[in-house]
């Protein structure tokens, strides 16, 4: 399997927005600079959260920063994202979030009412996700040196018993599920900036905790759940390319099955974007053993917020390390990770 | 989704594909050039090559405005924006096009005020909102986008907006098609004609291709069913030994074009005596410059234009690929030194560039590895 993971060296001369976009450049930065210098010789594929052994107790640990612009948008705000994002990273690694710590970087001049609104949004989201916010830190920088506020959350969680999320466990024939329509969050943010003179009244961000849906799946299909990911920056295409690389198999996506709202498709057609590259904040992709796939899908359909779940593809032996898409008339295309940064600062 | 789904309908597409197989003579080769980069992108994006018999070869044409722009023009544009008072605006396609000292995006990372706009009127709005700055719009495109640049310049003049200028890199499609037909190494049987360009110029300007050169041409839309239907129409003409201009894209393209758009272009632009095309050299009367009556809004008049000429990296074979002599993967740099993320040649930059389309959608169907490493 590691034959697919060739050693990467980070040689880009400067940091560009693309390094934060979650696509190829981000992956190169993490695998080529952070991993060799910070993570030692670990050859584990990089997941959404680290699972550590602390004196015989398994814990899951992760962190995420939020720099979204604008701070508030239809369906959510930076505070809500900051809770849900970290809780979801733990959930798709197969863990229930227990506690978060939060740090704020605030720009001098930020109206206190804006900060208070976001702190309240965090408290509400934490209650909704049943997670404790246990502490934090605040820094303030000069006016003009940051854009209103940035939030970082770090979280610990307990692994959910009975499941093992690992790219290495994925087999040819496994099915790929997505929990609902894709691209809502990224397109919502893009439109909320008001730079495009495009409007879509009914569209809002999909930000939400995904743990309840994952738990519903675990109850009926635990032994068949092989791999999960929340397709945030870089979208579904980037997550599935990472899966293909990490497990050394191919992914065949049935493009006509991928759920995309008309308003998102329309915006993507107009702007030349691919919905598969657009960020989501409340969806996950799961790879499920074929004998459990129908049960997992049924469990999602019966859960609140899970009716939009769909089977969108399957794992193949060949071509290894590659994501392919096929359409209703038999045309096949390769689908790459996100390259560059069409939509900066979406989360 | 209306106006999209019906042209991606599997039954319609399968039927057209069957019709193509029925009409194509297995005893001969067909070389059809799709002139537009938009068609190239759709052909790969929708996997249309898989639906054609092997003796129909689609040759990618020069209709990708980013791809045909010589590197020196990018450096010229960036040199204008070196003044910290200038905001450099361009379409997203331009952002990763390498100049001699880096792309607009790399300049942005180093502090240049570079903004992506979706239309020239966004750039004009930016000028209104930033009266203390000068907004320079790097205009690019064929007759498709030239009218909107023209309208914005007319508006700037009407409203007396002083802090706005346009660096015109607009080019025209007909001289490029002529250059291809004049090129001794080209063997093209027929053309899948431009769609969006034709919404402006109409179908008449192609008549010489049929009449004088004996090549069929079908003005074509950008959805899978459009492109396959256009191939059906070309095959019918070839079987009947005819050569005429046909319009497959009637739902959008009027035979006479768009008079209002042509009028706006004529008001603001005039032909340059000659203009350099990347990979194709100098082509006479192939590009548009801003008329003297709009000189105040012409970036080439307002700023010093160094007129930089940068030769393309020797190993890059953009010219051969642009003219359809080489296929993208036959270039020595393809997928190695030159990738969409770190492009050497412009064909690898724009999503409409044949190399980028081939790399993104086709090449990796046969390769075994997602490359994310920096080029060696």
Q: What is the pLDDT of residues B70-114, one digit of tens each?
A: 888 999 999 999 999 999 999 988 888 888 888 898 899 899 999
Residue B120 vs residues A187, A216, B77, B83, B95: alpha-carbon distances, Å:
22, 50, 16, 21, 15
Record: contact A327-B10, CB cut-off 8 A: yes
Q: Is B368 on the interface with A (CB under 8 A)?
A: yes
Percent of chain A scored above 90 by pLDDT? 76
pLDDT band (50, 70, 90) for residue B374: very low
pLDDT digits (tens, 9 = 90+) for A68-86: 999 999 999 999 999 999 9
Q: Which of B120, B224, B359, B373 to probe the A interface (max A CBs under 10 A)?
A: B373
Percent of chain A scored above 70 by pLDDT? 96
Instruction: Round the average pLDDT of chain B to a whole number and report it.
Output: 90
Q: What's the mean pLDDT in A77-103?
A: 97
What are the chain B neighbours of A273 within 8 Å (beta carbons)?
none
pLDDT at A344 over 90: no
Structure token pair of residue A302: 């019966």
pLDDT digits (tens, 9 = 90+) for B181-230: 888 777 899 999 999 999 999 999 999 999 999 999 999 999 999 999 99
Q: Is A191 on the interface with B (CB under 8 A)?
A: no
Q: What's the mean pLDDT in B142-167?
A: 97
What are the chain A neighbours of B366 within 8 Å (beta carbons)?
319
Residue boundaries of the structural domains of chain B: 68-172+259-302
d(CA A267, CA A264): 5
What are the chain B neighbours of A342 within 8 Å (beta carbons)?
92
Q: Which of A244, A329, A340 sits opposite B14 (nearest CB)?
A: A329
Tokens 């192609």 -> residue: B206
d(CA A320, CA A118): 44
pLDDT at residue B316 in the model: 81
Which A residues 313-342 touch B at CB under 8 Å?
319-324, 326-337, 339-340, 342
pLDDT at residue B141 in the model: 94
pLDDT at residue A211 in the model: 97
Q: Which of A195, A322, A329 sits opposite B364 (nearest CB)?
A: A322
pLDDT digits (tens, 9 = 90+) for A189-203: 999 987 777 777 789
pLDDT at residue B371 in the model: 46
d(CA B88, CA B299): 11
Structure token pair of residue B60: 């990618």
| Residue B170 β-bridge partners | B141
pLDDT digits (tens, 9 = 90+) for A143-184: 999 999 999 999 999 999 999 999 999 999 999 999 999 999
Record: contact B370-A342, CB cut-off 8 A: no
pLDDT band (50, 70, 90) for residue B366: low
Q: Looking at CA atoms only, how far is residue B44 from chain A in angstroms? A: 7
Q: Which of B51, B341, B365 sits opposite A319 (nearest CB)?
A: B365
Record: contact B10-A328, CB cut-off 8 A: yes
pLDDT at B1 over 80: no
Instruction: Round the average pLDDT of chain A to a whole number and report it.
Output: 92
Greatest CA separation found in chain A?
Answer: 57
pLDDT digits (tens, 9 = 90+) for B25-66: 999 999 999 999 999 989 988 989 889 999 999 988 888 888
Q: Looking at CA atoms only, how far is residue A71 from chain B in angstroms? A: 21
- Give CATH for domain A44-159: 3.30.1330.10
pLDDT at residue B280 in the model: 82
pLDDT at residue B367 in the model: 54
Q: Which of A15, A330, A339 sits opposite B340 (nearest CB)?
A: A339
Q: Is A9 on the interface with B (CB under 8 A)?
A: yes
pLDDT at B67 over 70: yes
pLDDT at A1 over 80: no
**CA–centroid distance for B191 within its chain:** 16
Q: What's the mean pLDDT in A37-58?
A: 85
Q: What's the mean pLDDT in B239-257?
A: 96
Q: Which CATH architecture has domain B68-172+259-302?
A: 3-Layer(aba) Sandwich (3.40)
Q: Specify the CATH superfamily of domain A167-334.
A: PurM-like C-terminal domain (3.90.650.10)
What are the chain A neighbours of B363 within 8 Å (beta carbons)?
334
3-class secondary-structure state, position A58: strand
pLDDT at residue B34 in the model: 94
pLDDT at residue B375 in the model: 36
pLDDT band (50, 70, 90) for residue A93: very high
Q: Looking at CA atoms only, how far is residue B362 from chain A in angstroms? A: 6
Q: Which of A336, A340, A341, A344 to probe the B interface (max B CBs under 10 A)?
A: A336
Record: contact B109-A331, CB cut-off 8 A: no
pLDDT at residue B101 in the model: 85
Please tell me the pTM assigned to this model.
0.86
Residue boundaries of the structural domains of chain A: 44-159, 167-334
SS (H, E, C) B186-209: CCCCEEEECCHHHHHHCCHHHHHH
Torsion of CA B272, B115, A335, A69, to 10 degrees: -160
Strand order in the sheet with A149-159: A50-54, A57-66, A149-159, A95-107, A132-141
pLDDT at A3 over 60: no
Is A193 or B374 the better-scoring residue by pLDDT? A193
pLDDT at residue A41 in the model: 66
What are the chain A neighbours of B341 within 8 Å (beta carbons)?
18, 24-25, 339-340
pLDDT at residue B345 in the model: 80
Structure token pair of residue B187: 């063997």
Which A residues 121-150 touch B at CB under 8 Å?
none
pLDDT band (50, 70, 90) for residue A43: low
Q: Is A56 on the interface with B (CB under 8 A)?
A: no
Q: Looking at CA atoms only, how far is residue A77 from chain B in angstroms? A: 25
């Amino acid at each position: 399997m590691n034959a697919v993971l060739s050693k990467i060296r980070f040689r880009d001369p400067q940091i560009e927005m693309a390094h934060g976009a979650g696509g190829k450049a981000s992956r190169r930065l993490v695998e080529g600079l952070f991993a060799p210098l910070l993570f030692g010789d670990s050859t584990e594929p990089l997941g959404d959260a680290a699972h550590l052994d602390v004196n015989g107790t398994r814990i899951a640990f992760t962190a995420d920063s939020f720099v979204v612009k604008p701070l508030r948008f239809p369906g959510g705000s930076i505070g809500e994202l900051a809770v849900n994002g970290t809780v979801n990273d733990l959930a798709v690694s197969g863990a229930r979030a227990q506690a978060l710590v939060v740090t704020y970087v605030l720009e001098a001049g930020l109206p206190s009412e804006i900060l208070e609104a976001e702190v309240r949004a965090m408290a509400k989201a934490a209650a909704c996700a049943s997670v404790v916010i246990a502490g934090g830190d605040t820094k303030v920088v000069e006016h003009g040196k940051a854009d209103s506020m940035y939030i970082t959350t770090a979280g610990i969680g307990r692994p959910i018993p009975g499941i093992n999320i690992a790219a290495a466990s994925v087999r040819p024939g496994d099915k790929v599920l997505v929990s609902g329509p894709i691209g809502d969050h990224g397109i919502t943010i893009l439109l909320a900036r008001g730079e495009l003179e495009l409007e879509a009244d009914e569209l809002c961000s999909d930000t939400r905790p995904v743990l309840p849906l994952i738990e519903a799946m675990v109850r009926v299909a635990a032994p068949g759940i092989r791999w999960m990911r929340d397709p945030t920056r870089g979208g579904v295409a980037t997550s599935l390319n990472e899966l293909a690389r990490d497990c050394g198999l191919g992914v065949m996506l049935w493009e006509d099955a991928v759920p995309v709202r008309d308003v998102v498709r329309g915006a993507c057609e107009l702007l030349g974007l691919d919905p598969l590259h657009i960020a989501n904040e409340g969806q996950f992709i799961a790879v499920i053993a074929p004998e459990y796939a129908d049960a997992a899908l049924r469990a999602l359909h019966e859960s609140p917020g899970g009716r939009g779940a769909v089977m969108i593809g399957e794992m193949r032996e060949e071509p290894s390390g590659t994501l392919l898409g096929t359409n209703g008339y038999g045309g096949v295309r390769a689908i790459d990770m996100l390259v560059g940064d069409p939509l900066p600062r979406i989360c | 989704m209306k106006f999209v789904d019906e042209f991606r309908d599997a039954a319609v597409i399968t039927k057209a594909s069957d019709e193509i197989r029925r009409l194509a003579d297995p005893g001969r080769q067909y070389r059809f050039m799709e002139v537009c980069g938009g068609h190239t992108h759709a052909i790969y994006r929708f996997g249309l090559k898989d639906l054609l018999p092997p003796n129909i070869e689609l040759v990618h044409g020069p209709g990708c405005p980013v791809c045909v722009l010589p590197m020196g023009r990018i450096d010229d544009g960036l040199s204008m924006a070196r003044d910290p008072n200038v905001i450099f605006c361009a379409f997203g396609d331009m952002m990763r096009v390498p100049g001699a000292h880096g792309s607009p995006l790399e300049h942005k990372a180093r502090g240049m005020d570079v903004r992506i706009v979706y239309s020239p009127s966004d750039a004009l709005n930016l000028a209104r909102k930033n009266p203390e700055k000068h907004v320079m719009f790097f205009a690019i495109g064929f007759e498709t986008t030239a009218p909107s640049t023209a309208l914005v310049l007319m508006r700037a003049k009407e409203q007396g907006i002083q802090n706005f200028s346009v660096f015109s890199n607009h080019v025209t499609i007909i001289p490029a098609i002529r250059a291809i037909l004049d090129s001794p190494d080209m063997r093209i049987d027929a053309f899948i004609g431009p769609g969006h360009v034709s919404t402006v110029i109409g179908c008449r300007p192609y008549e010489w291709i049929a009449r004088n050169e004996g090549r069929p041409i079908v003005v074509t839309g950008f959805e899978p069913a459009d492109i396959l239907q256009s191939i059906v129409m070309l095959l019918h003409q070839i079987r009947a030994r005819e050569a005429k201009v046909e319009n497959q894209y009637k739902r959008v393209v009027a035979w006479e074009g768009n008079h209002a758009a042509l009028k706006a272009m004529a008001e603001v632009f005039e032909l340059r005596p000659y203009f350099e095309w990347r990979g194709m050299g100098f082509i006479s009367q192939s590009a548009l410059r801003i008329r003297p009556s709009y000189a105040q809004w012409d970036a080439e008049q307002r700023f010093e234009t160094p007129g930089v000429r940068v030769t393309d990296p020797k190993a890059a074979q953009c010219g051969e690929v642009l003219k359809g002599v080489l296929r993208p993967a036959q270039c020595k740099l393809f997928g190695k030194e030159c990738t969409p993320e770190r492009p050497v040649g412009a064909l690898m930059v724009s999503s409409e560039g044949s190399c980028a389309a081939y790399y993104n959608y086709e090449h990796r169907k046969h390769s075994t590895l997602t490359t994310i490493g920096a080029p060696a």
